[in-house]
Amino acid sequence: MTLKQTADPERAAAPGPAPAPRRGRPSHRLQRYGPAYAMLLPFALLFIVFLIFPLGRSFYYSLTDFNGIKAPEFVGFQNFSELIVNDDRFHKAIWNTVKYVLGSVILTIALGLVLAIAFKTTSLRDRVLRTIFFLPSVSAGVGVILVWRWIFMVDSWGLGNTVVRFFGGENRAWLAEPGVSIPILTTMAVWGGAGYAMVLFVAGINAIPDELYEQASIDGASKARQFWHITLPLLRPVLVFVVITSTIGAFQIFEPVYLLWRRSASIVGGPLDSALTIVPYLYDMGFNRFQLGYASAIAWVLFLIIFLVTLVQLRVTKTFKEFDR
Amino acid sequence: MSVKTLASAGTATKRPTPFKRRVNWAAELARLPLYLWALVVLIPFWWMIIAAFKTVPELMKNPPTFFPQDPSLDSFYDPTLGNKDSVEGVFQRWDEVAGGFLRFAFNSFWITVTVTVISLLIASLAAYMLTKTAAPGRRIVFVTIISSMMIPWQVSLIPNYLLTSDLGMTDSYLGYIIPGLAKAFVVFFLVQYLRSIPDDLVHAARVDGASEWRIWWQIILPLLRPALAAMAIFVALGEWNNFLWPLIIIRTDELFNLPMALSSLNNSIVSSPGSMGVAMAASLLATLPTVVFFFLFQKHFIKGIALSGIKA
């Protein structure tokens, strides 16, 4: 039930059965635990070859000038300084990503919470509605992105323009207007993600014992007070989980950016780069321009940003927790 | 709290109140915008379905129709191909690829099944070793695995691309499948689950002389079933929708998965409105299996998500 447990790797590390006697020659130990190691082997091998080893390589590349053909040339932290100091496109990508993450995470969670509170019972109506809200999380693929592309089409027969005209507006070229790029991405994220958050919140809310609410009602607490003083604090572990995982996911957005504004293979990022976020930029640098060293540096900056944001979020929630006591 | 009670907490378990509650009109009124939101959620799906069955002239109608007036299967297969106003249906495109669209569906299916089965098997072996044996070094292994979860996978994207191409696996099923098999998250989840299962069973089996492999196969795997079901859903959905990786390593059309095929249709949307219907037909065919899958395993879906939130 708690996040504490896993936040602490020491306590999280395998408790298992009582430790076996440590003595004995290594060959004996190998004999004894041979099968155990053999069981770990397939995973460990793939994990090392396709995860750990690439991480090391990626870090090395981030310190080099490398186009994938000639041998990498060591340049120290030049890629990073270029990214952080000079690269306007990268700054734009970061700024766009931050706007997108803030908007989509806040709206997704707020809507998910509202949906969970409104439709948390086992009644037929609630179950049907929950299924509807959850549907986009199941079918979140390229297919749905194509539908969105059509919705936001320039032509008068696009759905977006039909709705706008219905309310008395003019046809708009949604995908050509820099100002609406991030709102479009945010809308898609909320549409796709709110149901997922809702499912987690419903589970969390229904795990709260009824007695607490009954007691509070007897004591004359209003519904609003019950929400603030019972639901929200007891929901905090789930809330923290949803905030952190959806933030991490939002930072990694790629497919909608790549597909929605796609006109030719070598252009990524929409009008005036208004939809350019970090991962599409990484893709552009790495696989359109073959600046693999530079792209690796972008990947590590992405890691650093996500890592720092997660730390801050954990810190903030911890502060809140102490404040409650 | 035991896993069992948490799992059941996943789906709403509040008992309905025994007496019939009076309708609270204020609360219903407050829910009104949420009903509208349900409509908003459904519209793109509806749009996808109807567009797949519209004819080209109707696709370009202004204002658009919300029910196809003259439902047709042309976007799937147009028998009048070659005439004016005809379109190249989903099953008529890619005629240079044997099987065309069906080949892509097969690729997606085959890759998804392989990755799901193998990654769960090796993860469950690792999770068993990490929780139910006393082999030295398991702690450091586990800490390494959970630490790796903090690093976004894009960080290893470029080296993995180079490695895959050094191994000669670009443009092959192997290149699709092998680099994505070791899933740290699955091991983490299964370890958490196994911890809540008492060791007695395993001890008893060992005393009876069962080998570790046999214990894993006959005791651990059956016990892990709910957790494996939840993880299978996550892994399978992720693989079905996998796009960035094949985008990088796949060059020949024969090896496209469905997202790649859809993406290539995406490029033709802008140039000719008629192919919008084809794109929607293809999207429908690619999305439908996930929705059917969801309705078949709805309980596991919801439980799995709830578990992931509560266990984490």
Which domains are assigned to chain B? 103-257+289-311 (1.10.3720.10)
Q: Which residues of B touch A171 (CB under 8 A)?
A: none
Q: Do residues B127 and B190 touch, judged by C-beta distance below 8 A? A: yes
Cβ–Cβ below 8 Å for B64 and A157: yes
Q: Do residues B60 and A154 touch, judged by C-beta distance below 8 A? A: no
A246 phi-psi bin (left φ>0, alpha ψ -120 to 50, beta other):
alpha
Q: Please enumerate in sequence order all residues whose Cβ is within 8 A of that of B95, keeping only pairs 6 or more positions apart, or say none.
A: none
Q: Which residue of B has its CA nearest to A285?
A: B158
Residues A108, A105: Cα–Cα separation, whole Å: 5
Q: Which residue of B has its CA nearest to A141?
A: B241
Residues A274, A7: Cα–Cα separation, whole Å: 37
Please report the pLDDT score of residue A250 as a whole number: 95
Return the closest-CA partner of residue B94 out of B103, B82, B106: B103
Cβ–Cβ below 8 Å for B14 and A122: yes
Q: Which residue of B has its CA nearest to A209?
A: B14
| Any B CB within 8 A of A124 CB | no
Q: How far is A203 from chain B (nearest CA, A)?
A: 5
Interface test with B, best of A41, A123, A142, A260 (most B CBs within 10 A): A142
Per-residue pLDDT of chain B (312 residues; tens, 9 = 90+): 333 333 344 444 445 555 555 677 888 888 899 999 999 999 999 999 998 898 888 887 777 888 888 888 888 888 777 776 677 888 888 888 888 899 999 999 999 999 999 999 999 999 999 998 888 888 999 999 988 988 898 999 999 999 999 999 999 999 999 999 999 999 999 998 898 888 888 888 888 888 889 999 998 999 998 889 889 988 999 999 999 999 999 999 999 999 999 998 887 766 676 788 899 999 999 999 999 988 888 888 777 777 776 654
Distances (CA, A) of A191 to A126, A159, A256, A305, B228: 18, 16, 13, 25, 28
Closest residue to A40, CB basis, from B12, B129, B282: B129
Closest residue to A50, CB basis, from B16, B152, B179: B179
Q: What DSSP assignment string belongs to A15-50? A: --SPPPP--S-HHHHHHHHHHHHHHHHHHHHHHIII
| In chain A, residues 142-171 whose CB comes closer than 8 Å to chain B | 142-151, 155-157, 159, 162, 165
Beta carbons within 10 angstroms of residue B33's beta carbon: 11
Q: How far is B133 from chain A (nearest CA, A)?
A: 7
Return the closest-CA partner of residue A113 out of A190, A186, A201, A193: A201
Q: Which residues of A touch B267 (CB under 8 A)?
A: 262
Residues A80, A97: Cα–Cα separation, whole Å: 18
| Any B CB within 8 A of A114 CB | yes
Residues A83, B189: Cα–Cα separation, whole Å: 36
Please report the pLDDT score of residue A2 as a whole number: 38
In chain A, what percentage of residues exceed pLDDT 90? 52
Q: Which residue of A has its CA nearest to B283?
A: A143
With the CA atoms of A99, A195, A315 and A232 taken in that order, what torsion angle do they form, in degrees rounded to the nearest 10? Answer: 120
Residues A188, A144: Cα–Cα separation, whole Å: 10
Please report the pLDDT score of residue A294 as a whole number: 95
Please report the pLDDT score of residue A81 as a whole number: 94
Cβ–Cβ below 8 Å for B63 and A165: yes
What interhelical angle do B298-311 and B274-296 show, nearest 10?
80
Q: Which residues of A touch B213 (CB under 8 A)?
A: 35, 39
Residues B261, B247: Cα–Cα separation, whole Å: 10
| Any B CB within 8 A of A128 CB | no
Q: Which residue do the tokens 């950016």 mark? A: A257
| Any B CB within 8 A of A22 CB | yes
Please report the pLDDT score of residue A284 as a whole number: 93
Q: How far is A325 from chain B (nearest CA, A)?
A: 22
Q: Is the dihedral of CA B244, B245, B251, B254 positive or negative?
A: negative
Per-residue pLDDT of chain A (325 residues; tens, 9 = 90+): 333 333 334 334 444 444 444 555 666 766 778 888 999 999 999 999 999 999 999 999 999 999 888 889 899 999 999 999 999 999 999 999 999 999 999 999 999 999 999 998 888 999 999 999 999 988 878 999 999 988 888 777 778 888 888 888 888 888 888 999 999 999 999 999 999 999 999 988 988 888 888 888 888 888 888 888 888 888 988 898 899 999 999 999 999 999 998 876 667 888 889 999 999 999 999 999 999 999 999 999 999 999 999 999 888 877 776 665 5
Please report the pLDDT score of residue B10 as a whole number: 43
| Any B CB within 8 A of A320 CB | no
Distance of CA A6 to the CA centre of its chain: 19
Q: How far is A262 from chain B (nearest CA, A)?
A: 7
Q: Which residue of B has its CA nearest to A208?
A: B9
Q: Which residues of A touch B178 (CB under 8 A)?
A: 46, 50
Please report the pLDDT score of residue A291 as a whole number: 93
b/e sequence A183-194, b meaning 16+ C-beta within 10 Å: ebbbbbbbbbbb
Q: Angle at the Cα of A261 (from A255 to A262), degrees rounded to 5?
A: 80
Please report the pLDDT score of residue B11 as a whole number: 46
- The token duo for A29 is 């130990």
Q: Please enumerate in sequence order all residues whose Cβ is within 8 A of that of A264, keeping only pairs 6 or more positions apart, or say none.
A: none
Q: How far is B229 from chain A (nearest CA, A)?
A: 15
Cβ–Cβ below 8 Å for A35 and B155: no
Please report the pLDDT score of residue A27 as a whole number: 66
Q: Is the dihedral of CA B93, A143, A159, B68 positive or negative?
A: positive
A-B contacts (CB, under 8 Å): 328
* SS3 state at A65: strand
What is the domain partition of chain A in residue ranges? 18-62, 80-324
Topology classification of domain A80-324: MetI-like fold (1.10.3720)
Q: How far is A207 from chain B (nearest CA, A)?
A: 6
Q: How far is B79 from chain A (nearest CA, A)?
A: 25
Residues B179, B156: Cα–Cα separation, whole Å: 10
